[in-house]
Structure 1
Amino acid sequence: MSYFRKNSGTGNSSQTANTPLRMKVLVGVIVILFAALIGQLAYLQLFYGSRFSAEVNATDENTMTKSVPRGVMYDSQGRVLVGNKAENAITYMRSLSTTSKEMYKVANTLSNYIKITDEKPTKRQIADYYLAESSRAKKVLAALPKSQKKSSLSTSEINDNEVAYVENTLKPSLNSQEKTAALLYNMMSGATTLSTINLKSSGLSNKEIAQVGEHLSSMPGVGIGTDWNRYYPNGSSIKSIIGSVSTTKTGLPRDSLQYYLVNGYSRNDRVGISYLEKEYEALLKGTKASYKVTSNSSSEITKTKQVYKGQSGASLKLTIDAKYQAAVTKALKQQFNSALSAGAASLSSGAYAIAMNPNTGAILAMSGISYDPSTGKITDNALGNINQSFVMGSVVKGAQVAGGLINKVITPTNNTLPDTAIYLPGSPVKKSVYPTGTFSSLTAASALEVSSNIYMMQLTLRWVKASYVAKQYIHMPQTAFETLRNNFAMFGFGQKTGIDLPGESPGIQGASTDSNGIILSGSVLDESYGNYDAYTPIQLVQYISTIANGGYRMQPYVVQSIGRTSSDGKHFYTYYNKKPTVQFKIPWTADELAVIKRGLYQVVHGSNAWGTAHALKNVKPSISAKTGTAQTFYYNTKTKKSTDKELINETMVGWASSNHPQIAFAVVFAGIDPNKEGNYNKNMAKSMVTTYYKMYKGKFSSTN
């Protein structure tokens, strides 16, 4: 026992002896590390203390913008067509450090004081609002399967899974106040940092303004400001030409989102989304007011200074007179309703009328109506003049005769052709409206007066050098369609006119060959008198203007000048005036042109019993014109089927006065019952001309 005690004692003595040494080493290391740390801190304090202090107290500068009123549009006489009506608005500015939690709180608070009843939140908006509350978001995340929240997924993917769970599984039901809060929250979330958006402006009551004003301190970012809405003090008949503007709720169009963002727009900015509002967006939007915002290291705004007060959008003065536009629209509706009452338009798709200054290309009026036979509903569709195509019939014959003259198939002194119908193997006879054999031959001018289809076909056979034996065969060269279409294209047919409105159609070109690549010879003949390819009303008025003014194809336009409206709204200062643009000069001689003009004058003033517009002979001032009809069928847009019932497009083009053209016009009544054909096109033409000259009485020195 003593042996073991002795050894045990010896072991304890050795351990006791070694412990102070280890402690000394450990303490020494610690002392050295502390000394190094203190030394480093002293070094940083002495040499970099001022720099760190500056960084702590540093401020950051950012730019804040605010929208300005959109440009005004005037008619040719200075009347406001579309302006801005100021309204009170509840606004919101998202700060640099605003969190989703804070926006959720503000939205709930604000929903106590205002209501949004004209819009319902979408499923996605409800889900986003639901997940903005942290406790609910945690429960949803916990409920997700592991595969939908694994670490390999991105944050956005997990969020999408959470949204889907809320939409499809929880399907939360919100009361009216919560729906308003959901809409507010989503608008706030979509706001760009330091940009001001409107949460509500339309229908804002005085009570709502007062309540919000009393509680602004409890809703960071919310304010009371002014907003503007487009209004139309001279009626909405021209609204479809002007176009529309998006709302702060819809914001930037999705299909052009990146374009607008790159160009400095905010997601909630309102932009032109159709026609003139869209075409001239860059000018109409103006330049936003700019503010320099200073914030501290905690992202709190400490100072706001205006750098640029902003500039309202540029104003546009149009070529269209609001009163004349209204008169043309009224007359068009009256004529169409007359056609409906007579049973002639029961399957019609609508009617269109357009007037242009033939010397400049300025559009004087553009009216249109669409008709739905299945519902009987009539709607304004002025833009149908540029985006709706129709087979126009004989109105194009002036261009066909011009082609024959220019290409020396006929001449001013030798243009008589036999009026012999065309007989093709296995096809109905191709003839004019009047009985076969009525005329043995016709001159070019007489052919225009009586609207001879035969003359145009006989001209074509000679022009394209076709081989033809009645009832046996006809051989057209492969270039026949190209020959006729190139000639029509000189007058603007089959191509966009270049009008300063988006969405213009070039028309519709029929097939040139069959499935075997063989040219459709009969269709070439149909093309020659306007019964094959389809054109737009604006192409018609450009074409007839080209004849009226002596051969200059003018580019149509609706914006005459661009400028600035004075702050009191009483003056318009012009920056830019549109100059007429000649797109092409027809290469005819004066004598060749005289043949065509004589024929179009005789359409109205001739003595042949088969003349097509003699009913307008006594109209003052004198009218030169061409009528047309073309076969068509009713197409049901709902069933996507056409009926077998044959209809006609009733058309007319012309100008006045005959010797001093000041107005050119084109009229189309689509899908009229041929058994109940009336004078709707002629009545419309008369109204357009007489109203124009009455309205501008004394403006023109001669009206002969």
Structure 2
Amino acid sequence: MEKLTKKKSHFPFRLNLLFFSVFLLFSVLILRLGFVQIVYGENYKRDLERKEDITVSNLVPRGKMLDRDFRVVVDNVPKSAIIYTNEGFSQKEMLETAKKLALLIDKKTDKVTERDKRDFWFIKNQKWADAKITKTEKDLYNAKKLTDKEIYKLKLDRITEEELKEITDTDLEVLAIYREFTSGYKFTPQMVKNEDVTEKEFAVVSENLQSLPGVETTTDWDRSYAFENTLRSVLGKVTKSDEGLPADQLDYFLAKGYSRNDRVGKSQLEFQYEDVLHGYKSKVKNITDNAGNVIEIHSVYTGKKGKDLILTIDMELQMAIDKILEEELWAAKTSPGTGLTDRAYVVLMDPWTGEVLTMSGKKIVNDKDTGNDEMIDDALGTFTTTYNVGSAVKGATILTGYKSGAISPGTSFDDTGIKIKDTPLKKSYAYLGRINDIDALKKSSNVYMFHTAINIGKGHYEYDKPLNFTNKLSFETIRNSFASFGLGTRTGIDLPNEQTGFKGQSKLPGYLLDLVIGQYDTYSTMQLAQYVSTIANGGYRMQPHVVKQIREPASESDEFGPVIQEITPTVLNTIDVKKEWMSRVQTGFKKVMQEPGGTAYNFFQGVTYSPAGKTGTAEAFYDGPFRSNYGKEPPPVMNLSLVCYAPSTNPEVAMAVLVPWAYEGSVDNRANLKIGKRVLDTYFQMKNNFARRSNR
């Protein structure tokens, strides 16, 4: 009985000890919680309440392009689109969303790569992928001798073809969508689908947005062309959404606030005026908590459509000139010796302002699929390709002769051919007798220009004797003078990739004679237009331009937005010649086209618009697309050109025509004159028709 009493007396003590221990533990916990609350409470509270502001930019349409009469040339066509914005979702969450979206839309899988498939297999089979790493490799990894990247690559490389075949067509569609989800940065909208989105797809996705986190339906835009392929090469292109920013200009655009998948102008006008056309994206601010969840959305900026360009081009006239070029080029191909003839160019310009009214180029190419020849737009060739142009440059030669003192107004030479020792006889197309400066232009005397060049070079000519120049800078003298008219230099046109032309490298005296008749250096059609404009307006080299105005985008109530920039005429330089000298060249040009014996008279006699200009024929070496067919010695070909302005007094339009490789042999098809006559006839006819309509 005593033993039982003793044992029982220990139980309350142990129980009290247990309670005391629990009390001590709770006291320590309470003290610790109190310490954390007092010392670190504010920090933890700030962490819980911390928010992050993320700005997301959304699409806006690009600015339009309109011609000088406000006809829409390039516009935007809205199209349905499905986009995805990664708002901090995990890989698993994005893959789950991709699976759901794949059930609602059809997604092409042609852009899925082998690497995409391996990554996708890895995500779906991580356990099996991990098993592909050997124990030795794991040990090396633990020893930090293999990186995460190297281990991942080993896993991918060891995925077999049989394992890749486990990916079904349904999986591929999920992968194609997932690929778009992960192609950009966090909070940067990615285009999932914007081509051929059906009304049903757009509707069903819109209805299920709550179960598709990050997915949105929106409106995207495509460029549309009211005049189809007319001038397309000059209007330029815009990158597609799957192209994004051009790789070679990535840093430039990123520094300006673009996203990697933004579409930008990548050529010609779209590229040149990208800063104007691209617009300002709408912006919304996503406010996230510390876990990355979006808890608030605020509109920051509603966005603004890109500004509109008003072009100097008259699209109605452009289409008419294009048609003339096509018809005359096909017609020329029916003449003998035109196997290499494949292109022609025309530029019309306002000689007082430099406004380019039309820039037309056509090229015949062979369709590899059908084997048939077809005509394509090559308006770019008016300033990106250069050729020997022949006698069209003789106006610049005469004025250079005046400036250098080599000739004076009224100077005459006998048109007898010039023979330099060990070289072929250099002569005009026929013996023209004794001839002065004006008639040398009218009848296109080569010999007159040769004597002018010899005098510029301070040379002494004797028949069949060597020819040497004491003026060692004679090539520079002539080229610098030609450049002041726009020949052999950049015209300054507001388009990229303008070519200046090829300058002959040899400075043997005979080549100086070729230079002054347009058979040594090469020039573009745009340069010819600037050159003849300079003569037409009395000596002002005007900068050509194809944009006339920049306007704010029109509001819903306005037909056109207000002008924010007017492209004013720019004089690049003036020709340092006497008014009398310029007048003599203008007279010679007028005689070319309006007086019997002029090289263009037979085509332009009787017209009412009083043209003045200069024809050109140049024997040139062929360097076109079929050059390889002829080995080292392709045949010589004849280039045809024509520069002109009208009316001869107070001219309103300047024209340059260039037909490279117009013919081989001796049968001149006169394509330059046929084209030029029809172009000027059309210009003045359309002008008169417009005037009659305006007076009604």
TM-score by length of 1: 0.87
Q: How does 1:197-212 map to 2 (within 5 A)?
A: 197-212=190-205
Deviations 1:71-124 (A, max 9, x none): 1111101111001111111121121x2233333333333233322449533334
Structure-1 separation of matches of 2:160 and 2:552: 50
Q: How does 1:331-410 map to 2 (within 5 A)?
A: 331-372=324-365, 376-410=373-407
Corresponding residue SS for 1:370: strand
After superposition, the Cα gap between the structure-2 partners of 1:419 and 1:335, relative to the gap in structure 1 and judged at 3 Å, is same
After superposition, the Cα gap between the structure-2 partners of 1:319 and 1:340, relative to the gap in structure 1 and judged at 3 Å, is same
What is the Cα deviation at residue 185 of structure 1? 2.4
After superposition, the Cα gap between the structure-2 partners of 1:275 and 1:156, relative to the gap in structure 1 and judged at 3 Å, is farther
What is the Cα deviation at residue 33 of structure 1? 12
What is the Cα deviation at residue 403 of structure 1? 0.3
- Which residue of structure 2 lines up, in the alignment, with residue 582 of structure 1? 571
Which segment drifts farther, 370-379 or 628-637? 370-379
- Which residue of structure 2 lines up, in the alignment, with residue 694 of structure 1? 685
Structure-2 separation of matches of 1:36 and 1:176: 61
Q: Contact 1:545–1:664 at 8 Å: present in 2 too?
A: yes
Corresponding residue SS for 2:623: strand
- Which residue of structure 1 lines up, in the alignment, with residue 60 of structure 2? 68
Q: How does 1:447-526 map to 2 (within 5 A)?
A: 447-476=440-469, 477-512=471-506, 519-526=507-514
What is the Cα deviation at residue 593 of structure 1? 0.4
User: Which of the numbers 319, 324, 328 marks the counterpart of 2:321?
Assistant: 328
After superposition, the Cα gap between the structure-2 partners of 1:474 and 1:32, relative to the gap in structure 1 and judged at 3 Å, is farther
The answer to whether residue 646 in structure 2 is matched with residue 649 in structure 1 is no
What is the Cα deviation at residue 620 of structure 1? 2.6
User: Which of the numbers 40, 48, 54 marks the counterpart of 2:40?
Assistant: 48
Structure-2 separation of matches of 1:137 and 1:232: 53
Which segment drifts farther, 370-379 or 215-224? 370-379
- Which residue of structure 1 lines up, in the alignment, with residue 660 of structure 2? 670
User: Which of the numbers 223, 227, 234 marks the counterpart of 1:230?
Assistant: 223
Structure-1 separation of matches of 2:355 and 2:330: 29
Q: Contact 1:129–1:186 at 8 Å: present in 2 too?
A: no
Structure-2 separation of matches of 1:47 and 1:553: 79
Q: How does 1:128-167 map to 2 (within 5 A)?
A: 128-133=119-124, 135=126, 138-139=129-130, 142=133, 146=137, 151-152=144-145, 154-156=147-149
After superposition, the Cα gap between the structure-2 partners of 1:100 and 1:443, relative to the gap in structure 1 and judged at 3 Å, is farther
The answer to whether residue 80 in structure 2 is matched with residue 83 in structure 1 is no
The answer to whether residue 553 in structure 2 is matched with residue 565 in structure 1 is yes
Equivalent AA in structure 2 for residue 446 of structure 1:
D
- Which residue of structure 2 lines up, in the alignment, with residue 527 of structure 1? 515
Q: How does 1:268-347 map to 2 (within 5 A)?
A: 268-347=261-340
Q: Contact 2:81–2:219 at 8 Å: present in 1 too?
A: yes
After superposition, the Cα gap between the structure-2 partners of 1:178 and 1:641, relative to the gap in structure 1 and judged at 3 Å, is farther
What is the Cα deviation at residue 201 of structure 1? 1.8
- Structure 1 runs not aligned, ≥5 long: 1-30, 513-518
Q: Contact 1:198–1:227 at 8 Å: present in 2 too?
A: no
User: Which of the numbers 596, 601, 607 marks the counterpart of 1:607?
Assistant: 596
What is the Cα deviation at residue 178 of structure 1? 4.1
Structure-1 separation of matches of 2:624 and 2:677: 32
After superposition, the Cα gap between the structure-2 partners of 1:468 and 1:253, relative to the gap in structure 1 and judged at 3 Å, is same
Q: Contact 2:245–2:253 at 8 Å: present in 1 too?
A: yes
User: Which of the numbers 402, 412, 417 marks the counterpart of 1:416?
Assistant: 412
Q: Contact 1:240–1:380 at 8 Å: present in 2 too?
A: yes
Identity %: 32
Q: Contact 1:144–1:162 at 8 Å: present in 2 too?
A: no
What is the Cα deviation at residue 263 of structure 1? 1.2
Structure-2 separation of matches of 1:688 and 1:117: 48
- Which residue of structure 2 lines up, in the alignment, with residue 13 of structure 1? none
What is the Cα deviation at residue 337 of structure 1? 0.8
Structure-2 separation of matches of 1:155 and 1:349: 59
The answer to whether residue 258 in structure 2 is matched with residue 265 in structure 1 is yes
After superposition, the Cα gap between the structure-2 partners of 1:301 and 1:348, relative to the gap in structure 1 and judged at 3 Å, is same
Corresponding residue SS for 1:439: coil
Equivalent AA in structure 2 for residue 510 of structure 1:
G
Equivalent AA in structure 2 for residue 235 of structure 1:
E
What is the Cα deviation at residue 590 of structure 1? 1.0
Q: Contact 1:91–1:200 at 8 Å: present in 2 too?
A: yes
Corresponding residue SS for 2:688: coil
After superposition, the Cα gap between the structure-2 partners of 1:252 and 1:135, relative to the gap in structure 1 and judged at 3 Å, is same
Equivalent AA in structure 1 for residue 483 of structure 2:
A
Corresponding residue SS for 2:43: helix
After superposition, the Cα gap between the structure-2 partners of 1:32 and 1:404, relative to the gap in structure 1 and judged at 3 Å, is farther
Corresponding residue SS for 2:191: strand
What is the Cα deviation at residue 152 of structure 1? 4.3
After superposition, the Cα gap between the structure-2 partners of 1:88 and 1:595, relative to the gap in structure 1 and judged at 3 Å, is same
Structure-1 separation of matches of 2:477 and 2:165: 68
What is the Cα deviation at residue 244 of structure 1? 0.7
Equivalent AA in structure 1 for residue 537 of structure 2:
N
After superposition, the Cα gap between the structure-2 partners of 1:202 and 1:422, relative to the gap in structure 1 and judged at 3 Å, is same
User: Which of the numbers 519, 535, 548 marks the counterpart of 2:536?
Assistant: 548
Q: How much is the aligned-residue C-alpha RMSD, in angstroms?
A: 2.9
Structure-2 separation of matches of 1:637 and 1:315: 38
Deviations 1:499-534 (A, max 9, x none): 11111111111213xxxxxx3221111111000111
Structure-1 separation of matches of 2:139 and 2:420: 72
What is the Cα deviation at residue 169 of structure 1? 9.7
Deviations 1:458-502 (A, max 9, x none): 110011102332212111343221121111111111111111111
Equivalent AA in structure 1 for residue 399 of structure 2:
A
Equivalent AA in structure 2 for residue 425 of structure 1:
K
Deviations 1:318-347 (A, max 9, x none): 000111111111111111011123355321
Q: Contact 2:600–2:673 at 8 Å: present in 1 too?
A: no
Which segment drifts farther, 38-47 or 558-567? 38-47
Q: Contact 1:450–1:612 at 8 Å: present in 2 too?
A: no
After superposition, the Cα gap between the structure-2 partners of 1:502 and 1:573, relative to the gap in structure 1 and judged at 3 Å, is same
Size of the aligned set, in residue pairs, is 660
Deviations 1:441-464 (A, max 9, x none): 211111111111111111100111
TM-score by length of 2: 0.88
After superposition, the Cα gap between the structure-2 partners of 1:650 and 1:577, relative to the gap in structure 1 and judged at 3 Å, is same
What is the Cα deviation at residue 617 of structure 1? 1.9
Structure-2 separation of matches of 1:631 and 1:559: 36
Corresponding residue SS for 1:553: strand
Equivalent AA in structure 2 for residue 562 of structure 1:
I
Equivalent AA in structure 1 for residue 246 of structure 2:
P
Equivalent AA in structure 1 for residue 65 of structure 2:
M
The answer to whether residue 526 in structure 2 is matched with residue 538 in structure 1 is yes
Equivalent AA in structure 2 for residue 645 of structure 1:
P
Equivalent AA in structure 2 for residue 62 of structure 1:
I
Q: Contact 1:166–1:172 at 8 Å: present in 2 too?
A: no
Q: Contact 2:657–2:675 at 8 Å: present in 1 too?
A: yes
- Which residue of structure 1 lines up, in the alignment, with residue 184 of structure 2? 191
Equivalent AA in structure 1 for residue 533 of structure 2:
S
Structure-2 separation of matches of 1:214 and 1:699: 54
Structure-1 separation of matches of 2:578 and 2:193: 65
Equivalent AA in structure 2 for residue 406 of structure 1:
K
After superposition, the Cα gap between the structure-2 partners of 1:149 and 1:36, relative to the gap in structure 1 and judged at 3 Å, is same
What is the Cα deviation at residue 218 of structure 1? 3.2
After superposition, the Cα gap between the structure-2 partners of 1:419 and 1:283, relative to the gap in structure 1 and judged at 3 Å, is same
What is the Cα deviation at residue 227 of structure 1? 0.8
